[in-house]
Structures are given as structure tokens and as C-alpha cells.
């Protein structure tokens, strides 16, 4: 508001009337005072806003410890529709329902967070929470090469017995020495051979075939023994390598073959079942211990509970996917498994000699075949 006119010295003209110039000065003075008051009011409001913003920023900076573990990242190399994708998504759904906001499992498939080797390294560094490696574990831990031995696993029931008698007492502790902890054994699956040269019926048919294999040393040795020309390569690079002829063939479970659309760049599918590869739901041991105990328990318990879903889904998908691959035009044939078993003898002998405890693990696994 303007100040009262009586508070201003207006001056008086000779005829007794207020001086006109003095009136103008008084009005100008009043307007200036009004403007100053408006400016002061605006500054007070601005200061209050600044204080609110500063308080919010302080709260945000004080809270990172609470929010850092909200997202539990789980990485894998599987494509949409693969057993890896189905398993990881089911696990996340079950775990998140139990966590009820304490943390949230977020799945990153299709090698978004790197290949298996890169993700294992990230687990050790604590920059990734969970991963689902498979064959590559045999390059990290020698005794895990047991699962690289051809035909060592008869079926899933046999695998369950091996898990109880060998994996948890012997292999998992060896993995922990590498800074990793396995929460549960899931599945990659029984592996089959595909290529563009010819049907593979006996090991000799692999002679000279450029075959992509995972990053595991015993798989390389195995196919060298069979006469192929194996080369380790990331799964994310496989399709292009087959499409361009850099590789003639590869070997994978049906779920990986179909979900990666390898039927579009491969002609022959030979049902060898030469290796059963488990998948290891794995965490970095040090980083794992930073999670709250109740969160760790939920994540660990749910991991083991999800195994039954994984096995049931894998068994169901095998038959369905074989039909789809035939419909896609792949030529499918059985192999002479006795010939492959006989040709595998040298790789068993080398593994037994090279790795402490391997001979006993092989004997134990074989003793559990028909129980």
C-alpha cells in the first residue's frame, strides 16, 4: 500500500493550495517504497524455496545407502524365449513377491551386461549382483570341468543325485575360493550339434568342421579329440559367425538354438546329447554379504525353489522345440552315441590326471547313474 498522504511534506503555495510539484514527488516516493516492499517479499519467497530445495537435496544425498540395494541386477546371455530367460524371469517374479519392496530383482538378458566371462568378473568386482553362467565355470574352477565330460550326466534325475553327492560338498566350495557363491543349480541343457556341411553321425564326421564352442577349455579339447576345429566365441557373436561362414557349426541345447534363431543359418541338427550343462545362479561373495540378511535369505531360498520350475520347463520345451526346428527346415538325425562315448575316453583320462579330485568325482558320478 502507498503511505498516507499526511506523512509526506507537500509544501504550500502562496494561495494556500498544496504545491503541485511536491504532490508529484510524494506519489513517486510512495511508488518507490511499494516497489521495494515487493522486491523484499519476492526475496523472502525465493529464500524459502531455496531452503526447501536444499533440504530435499540433503535428504537425497543422505539416502544412497538405502537405495543402492533396491535393484538387484541379474544378467544372462540367453535370448528371449530361451530357458535362461524363462528361468530368470520366473525367479525374479517369485523373489520380488517375497521381498515386498525391500529389494527388486531386475533381469538383463541377451548379453546386455556382457558375456559370461565379463559378468563373472563383474561379480568379483561387486559391480553386478547376479549372473547365470554355464560352461565358462569350468575355466574358473577346474573341478567344475566334471560337467564338461561327455555323457557324464544321464538325465535330470541323475543330475539331482550328482548335485547332492558331488556339487555341494566338493565343487561349490571350490567355486567359493574364487570369490563366487552359487545360490542354486539350474539348467542350460543337453547339447546338440548343428552345422552347414553334413549330418554328424559319428565323431569322424566332424573332421575339419569349424565349430564354435563356449569359453571352456574342456569343450575345446573334447571336439579336438573328435577331429573338429573348435574355436571359443561369445554366444552374442555366434549368429553372425555362422551367417558369414566364419564358423561352419556350433553345439548348444535346443532352447539356445531356437531362441537365437540359429535354424535360419544352420542346415543340419544332430541329436548327440554329448554334454549336459548346468547353469549356476551365482553371486560375488563379498558383494553378497553387503545385502541385508533377510534379503539374502529370500534370494537364496527362492533360487533353490525355482529349480523345479526350470527342470519342468526344460523337459517340456525339448519336445516342442525339436518339432519347431524341423518345421523350420532343419535336417535332423540321431548319432551313434556308443561311437561318441568310445571316442571320449582320452578326454576323461586327461581330466582325471590334470585335476585333483577329478577321478573320484567321475567314479562317484558313474556310480549314481542307475540309483
Q: What is the pLDDT of residue 47?
A: 58
| Domain ranges (residues) in the chain | 5-50, 67-367
| pLDDT exceeds 90 at position 23 | no
Residue 162 contacts residue 309 (beta carbons within 8 Å): no
pLDDT at residue 65 in the model: 43
* Residue 264 in this model has a pLDDT that exceeds 80: yes
Distance CA 213, CA 216 (A): 8
Distance in angstroms (rounded) separating the CA atoms of residues 99 and 86: 20
Determine whether domain 67-367 maps to CATH 3.40.50.720. no
pLDDT of residue 34: 55
Q: DSSP letter at 70? A: S
Q: Inform me whether the pLDDT recorded for 36 exceeds 80.
A: no
**Helix or strand run (H / E) with residue 72:** strand 71-75
Least confident of 12-26, 94-108, 150-164, 316-330: 12-26
Q: What residues pair up with 186 in beta bridges, in sequence order?
A: 279
Confidence of residue 29 (pLDDT cuts 50, 70, 90): very low
Q: CA 131 from chain center: how many Å?
A: 4
Q: pLDDT of 67-125, one tens digit each?
A: 444 799 999 999 999 999 999 999 999 999 999 999 999 999 999 999 999 999 999 99
Asked if the model's pLDDT at residue 140 lies above 90, the reply is yes
Average pLDDT, the chain: 88
Residue 283, φ and ψ in degrees, nearest 5:
-130, 160
Grid coordinates standing for 210? 569349424
3-state secondary structure of 198: coil
**C-alpha cell belonging to residue 347:** 578326454
pLDDT category, 155, cuts 50, 70, 90?
Answer: very high
- pLDDT at residue 70 in the model: 77
Is residue 5 scored above 70 in pLDDT? Answer: no
Backbone dihedral angles phi then psi of residue 220, each to the nearest 5 degrees: -60, -50
- pLDDT number for residue 49: 54
Phi-psi region of 61 (alpha: psi -120 to 50; beta: other; left: phi over 0): alpha
Mean pLDDT, residues 22-28 taken together: 48
Q: Which residue has the higher pLDDT, 38 or 144?
A: 144
What pLDDT band is residue 371 in, cutting at 50, 70 and 90?
confident
Work out whether the CA dihedral 26, 27, 32, 35 comes out positive or negative: positive
Question: How is 277-323 classified by DSSP, letter by letter?
Answer: EEEEEEEEHHHHTTS-HHHHHHHHHHHHHHHHHHHHHHHHHHHHHHH
The predicted-structure confidence for 156-201, as pLDDT tens digits, reads as follows 999 999 999 999 999 999 999 999 999 999 999 999 999 999 999 9
Q: What is the pLDDT of residue 9?
A: 45
Exposure class string for 214-225: b at 16+ Cβ within 10 A, else e: bbbbbbbbbbbb
Adjacent-strand bridge partners of 229: 210
Please give the share of the chain, as a percent, with pLDDT higher than 70. Answer: 81
Q: Torsion angle, CA of 157/162/167/169, rounded to 10 degrees?
A: 120
Specify whether the backbone of 114 is left (phi greater than 0), alpha (psi in -120 to 50) or beta.
left
333: pLDDT strictly greater than 50 = yes
Amino acid at each position: 500500500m502507498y503511505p498516507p498522504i499526511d506523512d509526506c511534506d507537500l509544501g504550500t503555495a502562496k494561495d494556500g493550495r498544496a504545491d503541485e510539484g511536491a504532490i508529484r514527488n510524494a506519489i513517486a516516493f510512495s511508488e518507490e517504497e511499494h516497489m521495494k516492499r515487493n522486491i523484499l517479499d519476492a526475496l523472502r519467497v525465493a529464500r524459502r524455496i531455496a531452503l526447501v530445495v536444499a533440504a530435499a537435496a540433503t535428504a537425497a544425498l543422505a539416502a544412497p545407502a538405502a537405495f543402492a540395494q533396491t535393484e538387484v541386477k541379474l544378467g544372462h546371455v540367453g535370448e528371449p524365449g530361451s530357458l535362461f530367460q524363462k528361468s530368470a524371469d520366473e525367479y525374479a517374479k517369485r523373489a520380488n513377491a517375497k521381498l515386498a519392496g525391500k529389494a527388486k530383482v531386475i533381469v538383463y538378458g541377451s548379453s546386455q551386461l556382457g558375456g559370461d566371462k565379463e559378468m563373472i568378473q563383474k561379480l568379483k568386482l561387486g559391480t553386478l549382483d547376479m549372473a547365470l553362467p554355464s560352461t565358462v565355470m569350468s575355466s574358473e574352477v577346474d573341478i567344475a570341468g566334471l560337467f564338461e565330460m561327455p555323457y557324464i550326466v544321464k538325465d535330470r534325475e541323475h543330475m539331482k543325485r550328482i548335485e547332492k553327492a558331488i556339487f555341494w560338498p566338493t565343487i561349490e566350495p571350490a567355486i567359493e575360493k574364487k570369490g563366487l557363491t552359487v545360490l542354486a543349480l539350474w539348467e542350460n541343457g543337453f547339447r546338440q550339434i548343428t552345422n552347414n556341411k553334413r549330418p554328424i553321425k559319428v565323431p569322424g564326421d566332424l573332421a575339419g568342421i569349424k565349430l564354435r564352442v563356449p569359453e571352456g577349455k574342456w569343450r575345446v579339447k573334447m571336439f579336438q579329440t573328435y577331429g573338429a576345429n573348435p574355436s571359443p566365441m561369445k554366444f552374442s557373436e555366434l549368429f553372425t559367425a555362422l551367417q558369414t561362414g566364419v564358423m561352419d557349426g556350433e553345439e548348444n541345447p535346443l532352447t539356445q538354438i531356437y531362441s537365437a534363431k540359429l535354424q535360419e543359418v544352420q542346415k543340419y541338427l544332430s541329436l548327440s546329447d554329448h554334454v549336459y550343462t548346468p547353469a549356476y545362479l551365482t553371486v560375488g561373495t563379498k558383494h553378497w554379504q553387503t545385502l541385508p540378511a533377510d534379503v539374502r535369505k529370500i534370494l537364496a531360498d527362492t533360487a533353490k525353489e525355482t529349480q523345479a520350475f526350470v527342470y519342468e520347463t526344460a523337459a517340456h520345451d525339448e519336445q516342442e522345440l525339436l518339432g519347431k526346428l524341423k518345421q523350420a527346415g532343419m535336417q535332423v538325425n540321431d548319432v551313434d552315441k556308443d561311437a561318441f562315448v568310445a571316442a571320449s575316453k582320452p578326454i576323461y583320462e586327461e581330466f582325471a590326471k590334470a585335476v585333483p579330485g577329478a577321478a573320484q568325482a567321475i567314479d562317484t558320478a558313474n556310480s549314481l547313474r542307475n540309483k
